[in-house]
Amino acid sequence: MKTLADLEAIRKRTLDNLNTRKDEHSTRVVVGMATCGIAAGARPVMAAFIDEVAKRNLHQVTISQTGCIGLCRLEPIVEITKADEEKVTYCKVTPEIAREIVASHLVNGTVIQKYTIGHIENN
């Protein structure tokens, strides 16, 4: 069973990492979590991001949520903002696509065009 005592160990371990985290460029992952997003499957997408970011120990990545941005038919929508780069909006994201985005976009810096809003809306 996971106990609060485990958290103390995590805390000690992380304090060292956190000092290095400040120097790295941060990346934000924002998942749409209004009724439309949730109904379209945003929760497993969020869970996939949490899981993949934890597995790869990506300390510079913060995951958060937002409400309805008015494009309900394209949900689940995920926005990725990397420091000094333009925001990328991915649409109709699934947990599998979420894991691809982590590997390709967050880790290797390559935007996956075929899942972006520009590509999906124009094809």
Partner 1 sequence: MRELSLHILDIAQNSITAGASLVTIRIDEQSANDLLTIAIEDDGRGMSEELQKTVNDPFTTTRSTRKIGLGIPLMKAGALRSGGDLAIQSELGKGTKLTATYRLGNIDRPPLGNIAETILSLVAGNPHSPDFILDYRVGEASYSFDTRTIREALKGLPLNLPEVMAWFKDNLKEGIQELHGGA
Least distance in angstroms from the C-beta of 114 to partner 1: 26
Using CA atoms, how far apart are residues 56 and 103, in angstroms rounded to an integer? 9
Least distance in angstroms from the C-beta of 100 to partner 1: 19
Give the footprint of partner 1 on this chain (CB under 8 A). 1-2, 4, 6-8, 10-11, 13-15, 18, 31, 33-35, 38-39, 42-44, 46-47, 50-51, 53-54, 57-59, 62-65, 67-70, 72
Closer CB to partner 1, 43 or 92, in the complex = 43
